[in-house]
Structure 1
Amino acid sequence: MSDPSSRADHAPRPTSSGPGRVLIAVYAIFALSATARAAVQIATKFSEAPVAYLLSAFAGVVYILATIGLAGSGPGRRRLAWVAVGIELVGVLAVGTLTALDTADFPSDTVWSLYGRGYGFVPLVLPLVGLWWLRRTRGR
């Protein structure tokens, strides 16, 4: 029979604890900035670069979902965080590569253009840190 007190040692740590708070704050800032920037661009000059502006809006939604997932508790929120941060990594790599190879299709930058160059490459590093944190706080 297993000792009930040992189960707590195997439970996942909350992602919102310790350094996770800083990570959540960065995600929240990116959620707000990407979503607001995309909303203004879509409302004022959508015809200039619709793909870029829609990608920025998509990035904003991904950052919102990652923030919600990381800030919450429970297995559902953790799954949400894993999916959102995974999509973020695929998105920044795909959009970063596409914008590096063919700048003509992206006349205006997105959050993920050139791997987040316009944001100090934080969009490239952020999902790596997010996935590392999710792994580090998982249960044993």
Structure 2
Amino acid sequence: MSRFWTPQVIRAIGQILAVSYPLLALSAGARSIYQLFFKPGVTDYFPPALSAVAAAIYLVATVAFVTRKPWAWWVSVGALSFEMTGVLVVGTLSLVMPEVIGRTVWHDFGIDYGFLPLLQPLLGLVWLFWPENRKLFFGPRPTSSQPSR
């Protein structure tokens, strides 16, 4: 398995995330805005509101990914952890109680979006914790000027 996680694979994951997060933010945001404000006959506002939360998380993750500061790394990890938790909880509840959850970005683990909401935070966390990528946010580790004992 360690042969799979090569720098080329990690770089490809970063390129996928650079496209998928803004695209999902736009897609989920447009969907929720339409359903909340323009779609006639909407009686249950929970699903589109939940999709709006997902869109906001995607937007936060997008901005944090491109901001190469230590605080942005922590924001990214928090956003992706929240996203992963949301996808797992909402995905599970949508299978058990579909009438309560309705059709959100995260229902059925993101089936309407090709399961990207389920895969995206996992790939994002792998990318964030990759040592070379951590250096992008935190800089190189300082070397000790004292000799080892």
TM above 0.5: yes
1:88–1:127 contact (8 Å) kept in structure 2: yes
TM-score with structure 1 length normalisation?
Answer: 0.81
- 1:19-61 deviation digits (Å, cap 9, x = unpaired): 3233122101001111111011100248422110110000000
**Partner of 2:63 in structure 1?**
68
1:122 & 1:47 partners in 2: Cα distance? 26
Contact 1:92 1:112 in 2 (8 A): yes
Match of 2:24 in 1: 30
Write out aligned runs for 1:83-122 (5 A).
83-107=78-102, 109-122=103-116
Q: Distance in 1 between matches of 2:84 and 2:66?
A: 19
Distance 2:68 2:54 in 1: 23
2:124 counterpart letter in structure 1: G
Aligned counterpart in structure 2 of residue 135 of structure 1, from 126, 129, 142:
129
Over aligned residue pairs, what C-alpha RMSD do you find? Answer: 1.8
After the TM superposition, which parts of structure 1 deviate over 4 Å for at least 4 consecutive aligned residues? none
- Counterpart amino acid of residue 21 in structure 1: Q
- Asked if 1:53 is matched to 2:48, the reply is yes
In structure 2, runs of 5+ residues without a counterpart are 1-9, 136-140, 142-149
CA distance in 1, matches of 2:100, 2:16: 35
43-52 or 68-77: which moved more? 43-52
User: Which protein is bigger by CA-based radius of gyration?
Assistant: 2
How many residues are treated as equivalent by the alignment? 123
Q: Percent identity at matched positions?
A: 37
